[in-house]
Amino acid sequence: MLDDPKARKVRGVAQLAKKDARSETGLFLLEGVQGLKEVLGTPSLIVELYATEEAVERNADLFDQLADAGVSVELATAQVLKAMCDTETPQGVVAVCKQLDVSLASVLSAGPKLIAFLSNVRDPGNAGTVLRAADAAGADAVVFSEGSVDVYNPKVVRSTTGSLFHLPIVLGVSIEFAIASFKEAGLQVFAADGGGDSLPELGSAVLAAPTVWVMGNEAWGFEDSTLALVDRQVGLPIYGQAESLNLATAASVCLYASAFAQNA
């Protein structure tokens, strides 16, 4: 039983809440039962697993499956788990996992039909929710530009609710290189921008084509240099009195518009 919150091992796990430690080790923190259920499909990603006795008892079937997959759990006190976690009220389970991002070239070589591209998206909650929406819409990948939030930030990981493990993730690509690569691979590139063409007027034929949806920064949107590179700016009409839509909500609508057309 690991019971000292100040133990070296505990401090080492807690350091993974910081980007420098994640970059140096190639590891990240996965907190909570739901994330653990999702990573069960690729148990080789789990390097270390810590849980309280109560968490193991409450989720006996899950931990039996993990044991069958060769993943062992080290029991720890609630105080130790709290010291490891980024959250105020941890769920009694923390896994240290290998990072799993891939190259843009590998994604494009697979002939994708739908990609979400986050351009300078900084908010962890929005980034995680966009990734989750892309997963639900059946997207083939999510690409993060340089300057976007780190997908392995614990807040991003939590907000994906496990979708991080369901589709390829590409990190740290320059906006110019990414858009040029998308076009070279035969994908149309749409910027979700309020001043563009109305989404409902595009028509299913346009939306059914292989598409990249580019989502901009929450505060300032897109730089002019980015808008100059895309094929089209597309906006969502506001029928009510709201000033605007949240980034993640807009991304969900755009991705599903393509998904509906592509799966019709």
- 75-97 burial, b if ≥16 CB within 10 A, otherwise e? ebeeebbbbbbbeeebbbbbbbb
Computed on alpha carbons and rounded to an integer, the radius of gyration of the chain in Å comes to 20
Strand 27-31's sheet: what is its strand order?
27-31, 93-98, 46-51, 74-75
State residue 220's pLDDT score.
Answer: 81
> How far, CA to CA in Å, does 123 sit from each of 113, 214, 219?
26, 15, 10
Q: Does domain 104-262 have CATH number 3.40.1280.10?
A: yes
State residue 244's pLDDT score.
Answer: 82
pLDDT of 87 over the 90 cut = no
Q: Considering the chain, what is the average pLDDT of its residues?
A: 94
State residue 214's pLDDT score.
Answer: 98
Higher-pLDDT residue of 161, 28: 28
pLDDT of 102 over the 90 cut = yes
pLDDT of 122 over the 80 cut = yes
pLDDT in tens, 211-256: 999 999 887 889 999 999 999 999 999 999 988 888 999 999 999 9
Instruction: State the pTM of this model.
Output: 0.93
State residue 31's pLDDT score.
Answer: 92
Q: How far apart are CA 2 and CA 51, in angstroms?
A: 10
Antiparallel, parallel or unpaired: β 46-51 and 74-75: parallel
Domain with CATH 3.30.1330.30 in the chain: 8-98
pLDDT of 60 over the 90 cut = yes
Domain with CATH 3.40.1280.10 in the chain: 104-262
8-98: CATH topology = 60s Ribosomal Protein L30; Chain: A; (3.30.1330)
pLDDT of 161 over the 90 cut = no
Mean pLDDT of 137-143: 98
